[in-house]
Structure 1
Amino acid sequence: MATTKSATAAKTKTAAKSTTTTKKTPAKKDAAKDLSDLFEDSLKDIYWAEKALVKALPKMMKNATNEKLKAAIEKHLAETETHVTRLEEIFESMGKKAQAKKCDAMQGLLDEADSIVEETEPGTVRDAGIIAAAQKVEHYEIATYGTLAAFAKILKESAPMKNLLKTLEEEKTCDESLTQLADVNLNSKAK
């Protein structure tokens, strides 16, 4: 019992210490001041991400060996090009110019995809790695589009919300297709 009390006391002391030494991060000069600003900044971020993905998907397709995987990537490339166009329509409907702002998260995911390709032998193992990398991208996009649709709903941006929800459903469908492809065709062969 004494050990439990001292462990609890130590945890409490550590927690108290960490809250007193951690400082709040100051906002940048051009930081979002309201949900509308955050919505616009997030749109710029995913716009950059989708444009970067348009450039990255052909490399994934070239390194894939499974024909069904190549077809899935090619289909997603066409959808991603549509997503770029939809985002441009969203900016236009809001009276804004479509602008891209570097998305560090997508950059990291694409860098990781490149590493996976470099670190796997061509064939089923690399194909399984490409699917894993692609699904990480899909999950990021699903999270982003879901959040943006929620923001649009609160902001009463009905046209953007409709486009964001359409893209969200396409991202979910792509993720499901990749899961099925991995489960049915690739992961067991890569074993």
Structure 2
Amino acid sequence: MTRKTLEDLFVHSLSDIYSAEKQLAKALGKLARTAQNEALSEAFQSHLEETQGQIERIDQIVETCAIKLKRMKCAAMEGLIEEANELIEEIPKGPVLDAGLIGAAQKVEHYEIASYGTLAALAKEIGFHEAVPLIVSTLDEEKATDAKLTRLAEQSANREASAAS
């Protein structure tokens, strides 16, 4: 796809994050089942439900802005999920893996935060004003998930991993 205008860039970026969210929705169930820490497992399950709502918001943006998403696969999310899968294969189930999964999940959140921040700025600039609150709602959720993961790491997971090492 040639990206000649800001609207082209917006559509490309929205298509990319749509793919990312779809991939993440498939991966979060595995993360929830793999985590030994109950609070972490619940956080992954909760974020799966949130991610499904975020996908629905993207569908709303597409409809509201009368745009068509491009069929593509988000290579960045694919790589981030592969990194998490490598941890699952290499580290025995337990506190050390839980700490690793939190780090992997935070990489995902930071990617999403950057993506939605960019999308919000582009939407404002090109006049897709109806899309902005939808994008910002998702951005706020991603930031809250990142903060929740940080709390889980600092309050329990990292301590438990240190004790197990």
Q: Scaled by the length of structure 1, what TM-score is found?
A: 0.83
Which residue in 2 is equivalent to 1:37? 8
Q: Deviations over 1:8-50 (max 9, x none)?
A: xxxxxxxxxxxxxxxxxxxxxx310010000001100000000
CA distances 1:50-102 after superposition (whole Å, capped 9, x unpaired):
00100000011111111100110111000000000000110111112444421
The reply to whether residue 63 of structure 1 matches residue 27 of structure 2 is no
2:130 matches 1:159: yes
Which residue in the other structure is 2:155 paired with? Answer: 184
- 2:43 paired residue number: 72
| Equivalent pair of 2:116/2:139 in contact (CA under 8 Å) | yes
Verify: 1:123 aligned to 2:94, yes or no.
Answer: yes
CA deviation string 1:134-164 (max 9, x = no partner): 0000000000000000000101111111100
| CA distance in 2: counterparts of 1:62 and 1:86, whole angstroms | 26
Does the 8 A contact of 2:35 with 2:98 survive in 1?
Answer: yes
Q: 1:99 to 1:32 in 2, by over 3 A?
A: closer
Partner amino acid, structure 2, of 1:126? L
- The alignment's TM-score, normalised by the length of structure 2, stands at 0.95
Mapped partners of 2:63, 2:135: distance in 1: 14
Aligned equivalents of 1:79 and 1:118: distance in 2?
Answer: 26
RMSD: 0.9
Moved over 2 A (4+): 96-100
Rg larger in structure: 1
Q: Tell whether the 8 Å contact from 1:88 to 1:98 is kept in structure 2 after alignment.
A: no
Aligned counterparts of 1:112 and 1:160: Cα–Cα separation in 2: 32
Q: 1: distance between equivalents of 2:28 and 2:141?
A: 16
Q: Number of residue pairs matched? A: 162
Percent of residue pairs bearing the same amino acid type: 48
Unaligned runs of 5+ in 1: 1-29
The one-letter amino acid of 1:119's match is E
Q: Which has the higher contact order (CA 8 A, sep 6+)?
A: 2
